[in-house]
Amino acid sequence: MQDNAPPAVLRIRAAGVDDCALIHSFIMELAVYEKLAHEVIATPELLAQTLFGPRPGAEVLIAEYEGRPVGYALFFQSFSTFLGRPGLYLEDVYVQPAMRGRGIGKALMTRLAALAVERDYARFEWSVLDWNAPSIAFYRSIGAFPMDGWTVQRLTGQALLDLAARDGGAA
- Whether 108 and 71 have beta carbons less than 8 Å apart is answered as yes
- Whether 16 and 72 have beta carbons less than 8 Å apart is answered as no
- Shortest CA distance to 14 belongs to which of 40, 66, 52, 50? 52
Kindly report each contact of residues 154-159 with a partner whose C-beta sits within 8 Å and lies 24 or more positions away, as own/partner: none
Q: Is the dihedral of CA 96, 62, 51, 155 positive or negative?
A: positive
- Whether 23 and 74 have beta carbons less than 8 Å apart is answered as yes
**What one-letter code names the amino acid at 162?**
D
Q: Name the residues annotated as catalytic.
A: 139
- Whether 109 and 142 have beta carbons less than 8 Å apart is answered as yes
**What one-letter code names the amino acid at 47?**
L
